[in-house]
Chains A and B, each alone.
Chain A
Amino acid sequence: MELVQMQKSLQDYTKSLFLDGVLDSQFLQLQQLQDESNPDFVSQVVTLFFQDSDRILNDLSLSLDQQVVDFKKVDPHVHQLKGSSSSIGAQRVKNACVVFRSFCEQQNVEGCHRCLQQVKKEYYLVKNRLETLFKLEQQIVASGGMIPAMELGF
């Protein structure tokens, strides 16, 4: 694939992430913090997010599978996931966590189970799409090209 075509594909793909609500403007803030002195900042932060989230989701599954659910353990995990997803701009994960917290407050076990499934669904979606985004960027760099600046004209 030609370089120009790859760059266009990257721009279109990135735009789709915003149009679909998977990412919000906070992701652009992350990109603005990336520069020559910190060229891998976005992928480093996102990787940290993936590592933390995998652990949190595992802990949440275990906590909700207990016979007696301890919401004092569940809620802080959801709060943490909400905070970190918000910080990288993973909007749909964050929104799913907001709903999850309200069910924690009500101590509604069934509601929490449903929310956990929704959070996992949104998390795996953003994970897959960001991994694809980073692969597209790597292909462009490997071909000797520059990552084009994002122009979100919508």
Chain B
Amino acid sequence: MQEDSYTLITNTKKHTHALEHLLFEEKKPKMATTSTSTGDIKKTKSVEVKKKLNVLIVDDDTVIRKLHENIIKSIGGISQTAKNGEEAVNIHRDGNASFDLILMDKEMPERDGLSATKKLREMKVTSMIIGVTTLADNEEERKAFMEAGLNHCLAKPLSKAKILPLINNLMDA
């Protein structure tokens, strides 16, 4: 059965397809389809899905949080911020947090990005996590950060030009 885009969004395992839909959602309402017990496809009332890319920005620096908020806004997303890894973990503790993407800084007080990423994956958080490193970080440090559970790493400073293709590439993978 061909899955419609609404099904893709509600299926949390297919978050990469959900991201594509969220970023490139057509303005026309989509026809939702349901399958009957005989397998026939039956057209139902049209369903308009309105959901924006939901991003958690984790960084201890005010300037960088503001910059990343605007980058996400410029690509049609919405965002929430956390000042450090511990805050990011606490946001997920009640199990209701649902972010499509987490931008995770590496060096932060209280709990750093590596520790926070490890903890979030232990908590079965399936959001895409992009680590934000600096050029000063060596290959070993980046590798350790990736192995903590990142989907990808980007070097600061972030820009719209850097982040948008990465999201597209991850969707194609």
Which of B15-23, B47-55, B113-121, B152-160 lies at the interface? B152-160
Q: Residue B74 at the A interface, CB < 8 A?
A: yes
A32 to B164, CA, bound (A): 14
Residues of B contacting A118 in the complex (Cβ-Cβ under 8 angstroms): none
A52 to B64, CA, bound (A): 11
Least CB distance from B45 to A in Å reads: 33
Contact B136 A86 (CB under 8 A): no
Contact with A along B105-133 (1 / 0, CB 8 A): 00101000000000000000000000000
- Known: A48-B66, A87-B67. Is A29-B60 also a contact (CB below 8 A)? no
Least CB distance from B53 to A in Å reads: 16
Residues of A contacting B67 in the complex (Cβ-Cβ under 8 angstroms): 30, 33, 45, 87-88
Which of A77-85, A109-117, A124-132, A139-147 lies at the interface? A77-85
Contact A41 B70 (CB under 8 A): yes
A83 to B66, CA, bound (A): 13
Least CB distance from B33 to A in Å reads: 36
Q: Residue B62 at the A interface, CB < 8 A?
A: yes
Contact with A along B38-82 (1 / 0, CB 8 A): 000000000000000000000011111011001101100000000
A41 to B71, CA, bound (A): 11
A52 to B61, CA, bound (A): 9
Q: Residue B5 at the A interface, CB < 8 A?
A: no
Residues of A contacting B66 in the complex (Cβ-Cβ under 8 angstroms): 44-45, 48
A117 to B64, CA, bound (A): 24
Residues of A contacting B134 in the complex (Cβ-Cβ under 8 angstroms): 82-83, 86
Q: Residue A26 at the B interface, CB < 8 A?
A: yes
Q: Residue B173 at the A interface, CB < 8 A?
A: no
**From A37, which residue of chain B is reached at the shortest CB distance?**
B73
Q: Residue A21 at the B interface, CB < 8 A?
A: no
Q: Residue B161 at the A interface, CB < 8 A?
A: yes
Residues of A contacting B61 in the complex (Cβ-Cβ under 8 angstroms): 52, 80, 83-84, 87
Q: B157: which of A52, A80, A86, A101 is its contact (CB, 8 Å)?
A: A86
Residues of A contacting B136 in the complex (Cβ-Cβ under 8 angstroms): 98, 101
Q: B62: which of A30, A52, A76, A82 is its contact (CB, 8 Å)?
A: A52
Contact B63 A87 (CB under 8 A): yes
Least CB distance from A60 to B in Å reads: 15
Least CB distance from B108 to A in Å reads: 9
Residues of A contacting B157 in the complex (Cβ-Cβ under 8 angstroms): 26, 29, 83, 86-87, 89
A38 to B107, CA, bound (A): 29
Contact A87 B160 (CB under 8 A): no
Q: A48: which of B62, B73, B107, B109 is its contact (CB, 8 Å)?
A: B62
Contact B160 A84 (CB under 8 A): no
Contact with B along A52-70 (1 / 0, CB 8 A): 1000000000000000000
Residues of B contacting A44 in the complex (Cβ-Cβ under 8 angstroms): 66
Leading 3 A-B pairs by shortest Cβ distance = A84-B63, A29-B159, A87-B157
